[in-house]
Structure 1
Amino acid sequence: MAYNFSDRKKFTTWRKLWIYLAKAEKVLGLPITDAQILEMESHEMDIDFAMAAEEERKLRHDVMAHVHTFAHCCPTAAPIIHLGATSCYVGDNTDLIILRDGFDILLPKLARVIDRLANFAEKYADLPTLGFTHYQPAQLTTVGKRACLWLQDLAMDMRNMQRAHDDLRFRGVKGTTGTQASFLQLFQGDHDKVEDLERMVTEMAGFKKAYLVTGQTYSRKVDVDCLSSLASLGATVHKICTDIRLLANLKELEEPFEKEQIGSSAMPYKRNPMRAERCCSLARHLVALLADPLQTASVQWLERTLDDSANRRISLPESFLTADIILSTLQNISEGLVVYPKVIERHIRLPREDPSGCHTGPQDLHRPCSPAGKASIPVTRFLSEEVRPLLEPYRAKMDVKIELEL
Structure 2
Amino acid sequence: MAGSSIYDHYQTSLTSRYCSPEMSTLFSQRSRHSKWRELWLFLAESQRELGVGAVTEEALDQMRAHLKVTDDDFKTAQVEEKKRRHDVMAHIYAFGAVAPAAAGIIHYGATSCYITDNSELMLMRDAMDILLPKLAKAIWNLSQFALKWKAEPTLAYTHLQPAQLITVGKRAAQWAQDLLFDLESIEDVRNGLKFRGAQGTTGTQASFLEIFRGDTSKCDDLNQLLCQKSGFPGCYEVSTQTYTRKVDLIVSNALAGLGASVHKICGDIRHLAAWKEIEEPFEKDQIGSSAMAYKRNPMRSERLCSLSRELMSKPVNFANTLATQWMERSLDDSAIRRVDIPEMFLLADAILIGLDNISSGLVVYPQRVKARVQEELPFMITETLIMRLVAKGESRQEAHEQIRVISHQASSTVKNKGEPNDLVARIKATEFFRPIWDEIDDLLRSELYIGRSADIVERFCGVGGMIQRKIMAYQSFIENSAASELMV
TMscore range, shorter length: over 0.9
Give 2:27's aligned amino acid: F
Q: Is residue 348–residue 363 contact of structure 1 (8 Å, CA) maintained in 2? A: no
Q: Deviations over 1:161-187 (max 9, x none)?
A: 001101100001100000000001011
Q: Tell me the CA shift for residue 223 of structure 1.
A: 0.3
Per-residue CA shift, 1:54-73, capped at 9, x if unaligned?
11111011100000111111
In structure 2, the CA distance between the partners of 1:364 and 1:181, relative to structure 1 (3 Å rule), is farther
Offset of residue 137 of structure 1: 1.1
Q: How far did residue 369 of structure 1 move?
A: 8.1
Q: Write the deviation string for residues 284-330 of structure 1: whole angstroms up to 9, x where unpaired.
A: 01101111101101111111110000011111111100010000001
Shift of 1:373: 1.2
Residue 271 (1) aligns with residue 296 (2): yes
- The structure-2 alpha-carbon separation of the partners of 1:76 and 1:137, relative to structure 1 and needing over 3 Å to count, comes to same
Identify the residue that residue 42 of structure 2 maps to in structure 1: 20
Q: Does 1:329 align with 2:354?
A: yes
Give the stretch that moved more between structures: 40-49 or 206-215: 40-49
Is 1:390 the counterpart of 2:415? The answer is: no
Q: Does 1:116 align with 2:141?
A: yes
The Cα of 1:371 is off from its aligned counterpart by 2.6
The answer to which structure has the higher helix fraction is 2
Q: Does 1:149 align with 2:177?
A: no
**Is it true that 1:34 corresponds to 2:116 in the alignment?**
no
2:67 to 5, 23, 44: 44
Distance 1:282 1:151 in 2: 19
Change (3 A) 1:61 1:368: closer
Residue 373 of structure 1 aligns to a residue whose secondary structure is coil
Q: Percent identity?
A: 48
SS at match of 1:172: coil
Do the aligned partners of 2:202 and 2:328 also contact (CA within 8 Å) in 1?
A: yes
**1:366 to partner: Cα distance:** 6.7
The CA distance in 2 between the partners of 1:268 and 1:166, in whole Å, is: 49
Query: Partner of 1:99 in structure 2?
Result: 124
- Residue 6 (1) aligns with residue 28 (2): yes
Letter in 2 for 1:253: I
Q: CA 1:266–1:187 in 2, change beyond 3 Å: closer, same or farther?
A: same
1:87 and 2:107 aligned:
no
Q: Is the 8 A contact 2:407 2:423 kept in 1?
A: no
Which string of whole-angstrom CA distances, capped at 9 and with x for unpartnered residues, describes residues 353-395 of structure 1? 7752134479887769823111111111112431111110111
Give the gaps of 5 or more residues in structure 2: 1-22, 380-405, 411-421, 425-439
* Corresponding position of 1:405: 487
Q: For residue 300 of structure 1, give the secondary structure of its aligned residue in structure 2.
A: coil
Between 1:379-388 and 1:165-174, the stretch displaced more is: 379-388
Distance in 1 (alpha carbons) for counterparts of 2:350 and 2:116: 26
Written as runs of structure 1 = structure 2, the 5 A alignment for 1:291-330 is 291-330=316-355
Query: Pairwise mapping of residues 1-400 of structure 1 onto structure 2 (< 5 A)?
Result: 1-31=23-53, 32-47=55-70, 48-350=73-375, 356-358=408-410, 359-360=422-423, 370-383=448-461, 384-398=464-478, 399-400=480-481
Measured in 1, the distance between the counterparts of 2:443 and 2:351 equals 40
Structure-2 separation of matches of 1:192 and 1:211: 17
Return the alpha-carbon distance in structure 2 between the equivalents of residues 131 and 76 of structure 1: 71
Paired with 1:82 and 1:145, the residues of 2 have a C-alpha distance of 57
Structure 2 CA distance for aligned equivalents of residues 340 and 131 of structure 1:
16
Q: Deviations over 1:62-93 (max 9, x none)?
A: 10000011111111111111111100001100
SS in 2 for 1:356: helix
CA contact (8 A) 1:349 1:363 kept: no
In angstroms, what is the RMSD of aligned CA positions?
A: 1.7
